Structure 1
Amino acid sequence: MKIKNVLQAFALAAVVLFTACSDDDTSATYLSPSAIVSNPADDEIDVARNKVISVDFSEEMDPSTINASTFIVTQGDVTIEGTVSYSGTTAKFIPKTNLSADKVYTISITTGVKNLAGNALETRMERKFTTNINVAGLAVVDLGAAGNYVVLAKTAINNNPTSAITGNLGLSPAATSYITGLSLTDFTGYATSAQVTGKLYAADMASPTPINLTTAVENMTTAYNNAAGRPLPDFLELGAGNIGGITLTAGLYKWTSTVTIPTDVTISGTADDVWIFQISGDLTMSAAVNITLQGGAKASNIFWQVAGEATFGTTSHSEGIILSMTGITFQTGATFNGRALAQTAVILDGNTVVQPQ
C-alpha cells in the first residue's frame, strides 16, 4: 500500500513538472516580437543613396508576413519601389533605383509582421534617415583613340549597298578584305568609298595605320570595361528590360539580361548630362522605332554598353555610342547618330550613319 502511494505521488509530481516545463518552453510564443535594430539607424544622416535598408527582429519571424505591404519605405507621401527579402532574423529592402539626394526617408514595419507562433509585432516601428547631398554628375566614358571612328570593329565591316556614312571607319586586327560592300579605292595608309564621307582604315594598310588601329581597339576595350564597371546604378532592371515608351533621364542604368525597345523612347536632359546603359544580354530595337533626344541631350554623352549583340530594326533611328562585346547590326534602312564600336563585326544594310557632334 505504501509503495502504491509513493508511485502515485511520483506520477503526480511528474505531471506537474511536465506541465510547468511545457508552460515555460512555450511562454515565449505568447509574447509579441519586436523590431529592435534598423540600418540606417533612426535619425541617421549622410546615408548613401544606394543603401540596402535592413531591420533586425528580436526573434525569428514568419517570412510570409514580411513583404512590400509590411516593410515600407517612403519619402514624404511617396512609397519607394523596391525588393523585400528575409533571412534568419533580418529583413532587407533594396530600392529599385538610387534614393534621391538630401531627402528624409521613413522606414515602416507594420503590425502585419508576425513571428512563427502567429503573434503580431507589438507596435508599428518607424525610423527616419536622411540621404547624403548629391555629388557631381556621371562622368562621360573616355573613348580615347576609338573616338576617331564612327565605325570600329575587330573582325569585319560588312555593308549591303547603298549606305551613307559620315566619319572614319576602322578594322583591326582583320585585313582590308574583311571590309565588304563599300567598293574601296586604295591609297597609302587608307582607302575611300563613295558611300563614306571620311576614310577607311584596316590593319594591313601602310604605317602608321596598323599601330593607330591597335591603339584605337585597345581604347575601345578599355572604354567598354569602364562603362561596364561603373558602380551604383541609379536605375536597376528598369521596365524588366522593356524600355519602350519610357523617357530616360540622365544616370546609370543596369540590366542583368536582354533589353528591348519595342516602341519609341525619349532621352531627356541637358547638353552636360550623361547616360550609361549597362546591358548584360542583347540590345534589340524593333523596326520603325525611334530614339528621340530632348532638352539638349547629346548623342556623344549616351553610352550603350552591350555584352551581347546590338540589333537595330529596319528603318529605326537610334542615338549614342554603342560599345558592344559582340556584334552590331543595323537592319535595312536603319539610321544612326553616334558611334558603332564592336569587339567583333559591324553589319550595315543601306543605312545612314553619322558621327555625333
Structure 2
Amino acid sequence: MNYIKALMVVLLLPLILFTSCESDNDPSPVDGAPNVTSTNPLSNALDVSRSKTVSIVFNEAMDPSSINSTTLTLKQGSTSITGEVAYAGTTATFTPAINLSAAKIYTVTITTGAKNLAGIALTSNTTWNFTTGATAEILVVVNLGSAGDYVILAKTAINNSSTSAIKGNLGLSPAATTFITGLALVDFTGYATSSQVTGNVYAADMADPTPVNLTTAVNNMTTAYNDAAGRPSPDFVELGSGNIGGMTLTSGLYKWSSTVTIPTDLTLTGSATDVWIFQIDGNLTQSAATAITLNGGALAKNIFWQVAGEATFGTTSHFEGVILSMTGITFQTGATMNGSALAQTAVILDSNSITMVE
C-alpha cells in the first residue's frame, strides 16, 4: 500500500509543478489594474458648492494622456457640463467652466479609457452622484470706494465736443485742468464748474484737498477694476461668442476672453438687489441706435462692466451700468448713459447725456 501511495506522488508531482508555474506566469486579466480610492465630493454628497472642482484619487500613477474630457465627464441629467480636465500625481480634477446650478443632481464618470502607466485600464466605469446646494451663491457689488463719487473719472483726459449734459462730479488725475476740454470751465478754489455739468469738476492741479482726494479716488478705481476682473467662478463663459445683442441676461458673473459687441438691443432683468459683473478681456462695442433696457427693478448701480480694452458707445445708443475701463471710454454723438464712466486713461464725449445713479 505504501508503495502504491509513493508511486502516485511520483506520477502526480510533475503535474502539480506544471500547474503552479502556469499560474505564476499567467496572471488574471484584472491583476495590476488601477482603481479609484477616493472622490471629492463623496458619492451622494449633499449641499455641494456650485463652484466645486471635482477630484478623483487613484491608487497609482495614471497615464496623463488617458485622463481627458472623454474619459472624465460631468453631467446634469443628460446634459454634459463643459470644463477643464487636469491630472497630477495620482489625482484627476474636473473644473466646470461655469457655476453649477443650485439644487441639482450631477453625475461624475471616469471610464475604462483611463489607464495606468503600464497601459492597464480601469476594470469598469466608476460613476457617482452629488447634489449642489439649494441656494445660489450671492454675487456682491464691486466696491468703488471714493471713485463712486464721480460720474466721470479719468487719468489722462476728459474731452468734450459740442454740448453735453452731465449729472454728477467729474474728476481727472494725475493730469491737470488743461486736459479737460470742451466744457468751458469756470474756476473756483479747489474745483471748477460748467454749464454742461450738474456737479463740480476736479483736477489734480487744483487747490487742496482736491489732489489728495483725487489720488485716493483713482487708486480706488484701480482697486475696483482689479476686484471685478478677479472674481472667480463665472456663471457664464464666452456667452454668444461675445455677441450679446438681442439677449435677456439675468444677474450673475459673465466672462469673455475677447471683444464683446452689442449690435442690437440688450435687456438685463432682475431685482433691485441683483448684481451683474461683466469681465471683458477685449473691447466693448455698442452699435449706434441700440439700447440696454433694465427690467424687474434692476439698477444701473449694480451693473459693472470691467473692460480691458476700449469701451465705445455708438451714435444715439443708450447704456446702463458702471464702466471700469483700463484703456479708454468713447461716447459717440448723442449717446446716453445711466451710470458712471471710470477710465484708467481718457473719456471722450460728443453731445452726450451722462447721468450718475445712486
Query: In the superposition, relative to structure 1, how do residues 87 and 140 fare at CA in structure 2: closer, same or farther (>3 Å)?
Result: closer
Distance apart, 1:297 and its partner CA: 0.5
Query: In the superposition, relative to structure 1, how do residues 266 and 344 fare at CA in structure 2: closer, same or farther (>3 Å)?
Result: same
2:79 paired residue number:
79
Query: In the superposition, relative to structure 1, how do residues 239 and 54 fare at CA in structure 2: closer, same or farther (>3 Å)?
Result: farther
Distance across 2 between alignment mates of 1:177 and 1:159? 13
Q: Does the residue aligned with 2:175 lie in a helix, a strand or coil?
A: coil
1:336 paired residue number:
337
Distance apart, 1:220 and its partner CA: 1.6
Unaligned runs of 5+ in 1: 1-19
Tell me the amino acid that sits aligned with residue 81 of structure 1.
I
1:193 to 2:176 alignment: no
Distance across 2 between alignment mates of 1:240 and 1:234? 15
Query: In the superposition, relative to structure 1, how do residues 67 and 211 fare at CA in structure 2: closer, same or farther (>3 Å)?
Result: closer
Distance apart, 1:298 and its partner CA: 0.2
Query: In the superposition, relative to structure 1, how do residues 239 and 57 fare at CA in structure 2: closer, same or farther (>3 Å)?
Result: farther
Q: Does the residue aligned with 1:211 lie in a helix, a strand or coil?
A: helix
Q: Quick check: 152-161 or 53-62, which moved more?
A: 53-62
Distance across 1 between alignment mates of 2:143 and 2:34? 53
Q: Are the equivalent residues in 2 in contact too, given 1:72–1:79 (CA < 8 A)?
A: no
Q: Quick check: 295-304 or 282-291, which moved more?
A: 282-291
**Superposed, which structure 2 residues align to 1:1-357 within 5 Å?**
37-55=38-56, 60=62, 63=65, 66-67=68-69, 71-75=72-76, 77=77, 79-83=79-83, 85=85, 87=87, 92-109=93-110, 113=113, 122-134=123-135, 137-357=138-358
- Alignment RMSD: 3.3
Q: Quick check: 215-224 or 36-45, which moved more?
A: 36-45
Query: In the superposition, relative to structure 1, how do residues 55 and 263 fare at CA in structure 2: closer, same or farther (>3 Å)?
Result: farther
Tell me the amino acid that sits aligned with residue 211 of structure 1.
V
**Count of matched residue positions in the alignment of Structure 1 and Structure 2:** 336
Distance across 1 between alignment mates of 2:84 and 2:145? 42
Q: Are the equivalent residues in 2 in contact too, given 1:286–1:313 (CA < 8 A)?
A: yes
Unaligned runs of 5+ in 2: 1-21
1:258-313 Cα deviation digits (max 9, x unpaired):
33323322111100111112223322222333211111110000111222222222
Tell me the amino acid that sits aligned with residue 178 of structure 1.
F
Tell me the amino acid that sits aligned with residue 169 of structure 1.
L
Distance across 2 between alignment mates of 1:100 and 1:127? 18
Query: In the superposition, relative to structure 1, how do residues 123 and 193 fare at CA in structure 2: closer, same or farther (>3 Å)?
Result: same
Query: In the superposition, relative to structure 1, how do residues 270 and 200 fare at CA in structure 2: closer, same or farther (>3 Å)?
Result: same
Distance apart, 1:86 and its partner CA: 5.8
Distance apart, 1:73 and its partner CA: 2.5
Q: TM-score, normalised by structure 2?
A: 0.80
Q: Does the residue aligned with 1:127 lie in a helix, a strand or coil?
A: strand
Q: Quick check: 339-348 or 286-295, which moved more?
A: 286-295
Q: Are the equivalent residues in 2 in contact too, given 1:168–1:198 (CA < 8 A)?
A: yes
2:9 paired residue number:
none
Tell me the amino acid that sits aligned with residue 50 of structure 1.
S
Distance across 2 between alignment mates of 1:64 and 1:345? 50
Distance apart, 1:62 and its partner CA: 9.5
Q: Are the equivalent residues in 2 in contact too, given 1:262–1:286 (CA < 8 A)?
A: yes
